């Protein structure tokens, strides 16, 4: 049964919106500089994808794009179909190397955690969360905390007057309308979907834990 309190729903949506902004921070590009000695030619390392012999990220070029943050009305607390549409057919997994070693792409692990927090907000008031559910949420909260700090988005968000639930007002930033420089997630999604077409006969991994 869904909570009926307007204040509960508004509070949940505010929390969820904050998490969405935090998640999108992870899509910001990182600029990596390297110096190659004069006269030497850079050669891309070759990986076997056995054990720990694999690159730190997908070996693909991800172009930059911009996005003005908005209040995404379609991704609300109870919009299960909209949230499910964010996942690829492989649930964000790819298979790489000659034997098709499975890997989770971090963007979908983060989306999975965010969706898990949404589900907890939706059902937590019903009192049917198990200790295992709480442990999963604890993992997701800490995982997203580390992800946001890792990318350290430095976009400036203008502070404005924000009305608080108790009727008072103070300076705050919603992030809505601010321009961010992002890695283009659409290219990453296309890559993962193309990879699925190659490896779909193989057993599909589950969602990230």
Residue 125: burial class (beta carbons within 10 Å; 0-12, 13-18, 19+): middle
Q: Domain span at residue 70?
A: 63-162
117 falls within a domain: yes
Read off the pLDDT of residues 102-122 as tens digits, 9 standing for 90 and up. 999 999 999 999 999 998 888
- Whether residue 176 lies inside any domain: the answer is no
How high is the mean pLDDT of the chain? 79
User: What is residue 76's three-state secondary structure?
Assistant: coil
Q: In sequence order, what are the beta bridge partners of 67?
A: 180
Residue 102 lies in a domain: yes
Q: Which of 75, 87, 147, 149 is nearest to 118 (CA)?
A: 75
Statement: residue 134 has pLDDT above 80 = yes
In a domain? residue 26 = no
- Whether 57 is covered by a domain: the verdict is no
Q: At what angle do helices 131-151 and 106-123 cross, to 10 degrees?
A: 130
The mean pLDDT of 151-159, rounded to a whole number, is 83
pLDDT at 33: 41
Tell me the per-residue pLDDT of 29-54, one tens digit each, with 9 for 90 and over: 333 344 555 566 667 788 998 888 99
Q: How many independent structural domains does the chain possess?
A: 1
User: Does a structural domain hold residue 72?
Assistant: yes
pTM above 0.85, yes or no: no
Is there a contact between 182 and 28 (Cβ–Cβ < 8 Å)? yes
């Amino acid at each position: 049964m869904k909570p009926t309190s307007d204040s509960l729903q508004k509070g949940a949506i505010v929390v969820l919106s904050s998490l969405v902004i935090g998640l999108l921070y992870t899509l910001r590009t990182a600029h990596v500089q390297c110096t190659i000695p004069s006269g030497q030619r850079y050669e891309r390392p070759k990986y076997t994808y056995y054990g720990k012999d694999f690159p730190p990220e997908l070996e693909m070029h991800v172009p930059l794009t911009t996005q003005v943050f908005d209040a995404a009305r379609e991704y609300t607390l109870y919009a299960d179909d909209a949230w499910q549409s964010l996942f690829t057919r492989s649930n964000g997994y790819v298979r790489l190397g000659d034997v098709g070693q499975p890997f989770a792409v971090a963007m979908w692990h983060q989306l999975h955690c965010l969706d898990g927090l949404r589900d907890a907000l939706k059902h937590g008031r019903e009192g049917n969360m198990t200790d295992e559910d709480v442990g999963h949420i604890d993992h997701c909260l800490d995982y997203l905390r580390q992800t946001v700090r890792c990318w350290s988005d430095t976009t400036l968000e203008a502070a404005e007057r924000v009305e608080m639930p108790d009727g008072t007002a103070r300076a705050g930033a919603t992030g809505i309308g601010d321009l961010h420089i992002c890695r283009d997630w659409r290219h990453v999604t296309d890559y993962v979907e193309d990879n699925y077409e190659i490896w779909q006969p193989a057993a599909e991994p589950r969602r990230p834990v």
